[in-house]
Amino acid sequence: LVQFTQLNSWLNSIGLLQKVAGAAHVAVIHKMIKERIEQKCKGEFESSFLQPLENWMDTELYHWLFAILGDGCAGSQHVEEWKPRLKYFMYKTYADLRIGELFSIIVEFPDSTPAIQDLKECLEMTNQRGQLVNSLREAFETRLLHPGANTSLILSQYVSAIRSLHVLDPTGVILENVCEPVRQYLRTREDTVRCIVSSLTDENTTELAEELMHGEPHPIDGTGTSDSEDDEEDWVPDPVDAPPARSSRSGKAPDIISMLVNIYGSKDLFVSEYRTLLADRILSTFNYDTDRELRYLELLKLRFGESHLHFCEIMLKDVADSRRINSNIHSCRGRAGKKPLPVDINAMILSAVFWPLFREEKLKVPDAVETSMAEYRGGFEALKAMRTLEWKTHLGLVEVELELEDRTLSLSVSPVHATAIWHFQEKERWQLDELSSVMHVTPGTLRRRLAFWVSQGVLREESPDTYIVMERQKGIHKAHSAEVMVEAEPESATASVQQKREEELQVFWSYIVGMLTNLESLPLERIHSMLRIFAMQGPESAQCSVGDLKRFLDCKVKEQELQFANGFYRLPKTGR
């Protein structure tokens, strides 16, 4: 070692050390720095490492250089010249490691905040923003934006990215450049809006629910940021990689809810989805207690505005009115000395105009239930003059108590489930087609409902599509029921998106019939252009793309209400 040090000192004294051994020294030092960073920092996000790494370079690495170059003035001068380059290399190597791990760092945010702060300091020195953007976009596209990832998982990662990247770059430029593919992909998912709205009003604590309840209640704007203003002296210009058309909002905290809403650029879609979700919650639980929903509604009003949520407010008012009307009807029957209803009924009375479109399903309820409904309707008409009730017999909740030979079951089920098991009081064996015709329910729907009773051990499928009551469970082999598909949760009370779209398109049918009556035949593009002129002008009117119109017209062709030949649609010559 002494001879090695003397040789280096002689070479340095005659000015040949850098030429002879400089490349070797640099390679060894770089290797030492890389190995140190890999060993100490890889996968560790909860501690800051930049200062410990600088201390290691001061106490060990530079001492090794002094040993090689000598402690004289020339050696010290060379070491001082190398220090900025070695520090830059250390920062760049550390930034490369953290950029490669940034996806995992975002997943573990906020526990990984020290790693983000270190990376922020590195970027200020090394200017690797472009590398970071390209690497993280590629990580999102390969690890997150694929059919195997749940929409809720993608949203959770997107929210974490918003928060973590704001710590990394308060200007929001990196966030905009990185997350644009995420926003585009979320727009292609059908359940994105429902996932966002469900998370906002989830009973279980979620990031979005916390943001709604405890975040700053700034109204939704067009850029996805809060309306709070920063002091002018705190303003700093945007980085050079900011898009030219971007308005500067350096340092402003991101409004996560606004950014999620503006994935679609319109809050009307979210308000409509919340209205549907609210209807499902009310009708699936059939509970008159709306304190929780009122709390969420008031919080959402601060974000979306009162006018947009007016329908939801009326829906909750309907629930409160229903409780009062139910109490009045039952108390009036008691004062009048009337007999109790054959089947006790508590109705949810809804204002049809303000509620979303309901799922349509035929169901003929038992005679005793029809009698109770008729008497309840009479009580309502006496209480509310000039108004009546139109029953949705397939919606609601029925409390059922089944008394079998060796057990008693108490369940809350849908009206279709309750009606199906009611008929097994009349006889213990039913054919599926026979029971389907009695209930006015399609065989496929009825088979799914009966599968629930089979899973509960109440019915047994004796032979294909033949069901009998299981009065006693003793001695019954239960392996057969393992193959039965059970409905894990109740169906939505509201119509599906496709059903709602078909209802909206049906508005255009009268216009289309008038066009074809006057002009005999028209191509698709001409029909669409005329609809845009005559039927899509109002602010509240339904909108229709060429693709939607083509699917709608093709359905009419299948139903033989239209004819299609040589690219032209026309009305049938007969039958109209």
| pLDDT (tens digit per residue) in 149-190 | 888 888 888 888 988 888 888 888 888 888 888 888 888 888
Two tokens, residue 182: 């995420």
For the stretch 233-284, pLDDT in tens is 555 566 666 655 555 555 566 678 778 877 776 777 788 888 888 888 888 7
Half-sphere exposure of 60 (CA within 13 A, CB side): 10
* Bridge partners for 260 per DSSP: none
Q: How far is CA 57 from CA 17, 82, 86, 107, 230, in A?
A: 22, 12, 9, 31, 40
Torsion of CA 411, 416, 420, 425, to 10 degrees: 60
pLDDT at residue 490, as a whole number: 53
Residue 6 confidence (pLDDT): 61
Residue 88 and residue 26 in contact, taking contact as beta carbons nearer than 8 Å: no
Contact indicator for 179, 102 with CB cutoff of 8 Å:
no
Q: What is the dihedral of CA 196, 202, 205, 211, to 10 degrees?
A: 50
pLDDT for the residue 7 = 61
Alpha helix (H) residue ranges in 57-128: 62-69, 73-100, 102-107, 113-126
- CA pair distance 526, 408, nearest whole angstrom: 65
Residues 332, 326: Cα–Cα separation, whole Å: 10
Which regions in the chain score pLDDT beneath 70? 1-25, 62, 64-79, 203-206, 214-254, 265, 474-504, 535-544, 574-576
Q: How far apart are CA 456 and CA 231, in angstroms?
A: 65
Which residues, at least 6 apart from 451, have a Cβ–Cβ distance to it below 8 Å?
484, 485, 486, 487
The tokens describing 64, both together, are: 């090794």
- Indicate the helix (H) or strand (E) that contains 307: none
For residue 104, the model assigns a pLDDT of 92
**Cα–Cα dist 279/442, whole Å:** 25
Is pTM beyond 0.75 here? no
Looking only at the bridges linking them, the beta strands covering 466-469 and 459-463 are antiparallel
Question: Helical H runs in 309-351?
Answer: 310-335
Residue 245: how many CB atoms within 10 A of its CB?
5
Tokens representing 357 are: 């479109």
CA 529 to chain centre: 34
Domains of the chain: 1-215 (no CATH), 398-469 (1.10.10.10), 497-570 (1.10.10.10)
* Cα–Cα distance for residue pair 493/277, rounded to 1 Å: 10
Supply the pLDDT for residue 509: 82
Closest CA to 550 of 571, 566, 527: 527
Find all residues with CB under 8 Å of 353, minimum gap 6, and list them.
Answer: none
Q: How does DSSP assign 451-507, residue by residue? A: HHHHHTTSEEEEETTEEEE-S--TT---GGGGG-----SPPPSBPPHHHHHHHHHHT
Long-range contacts from 47-56, C-beta under 8 angstroms, 24+ separation: 47/114, 48/114, 48/115, 48/117, 48/118, 49/94, 49/118, 50/91, 50/94, 50/118, 50/121, 50/122, 53/90, 53/94, 54/87, 54/90
Q: What is the largest CA-CA distance in the chain?
A: 121
Instruction: State both tokens at 293.
Output: 């929903």
- At 11 the pLDDT is 59
Spatial separation of the C-alpha atoms in residues 203 and 296, rounded to whole Å: 10
pLDDT per residue as tens digits for the range 338-350: 777 788 888 888 8
Spatial distance between the Cα atoms of 518 and 520, rounded to a whole number of angstroms:
6
Q: What is the pLDDT of residue 231?
A: 45
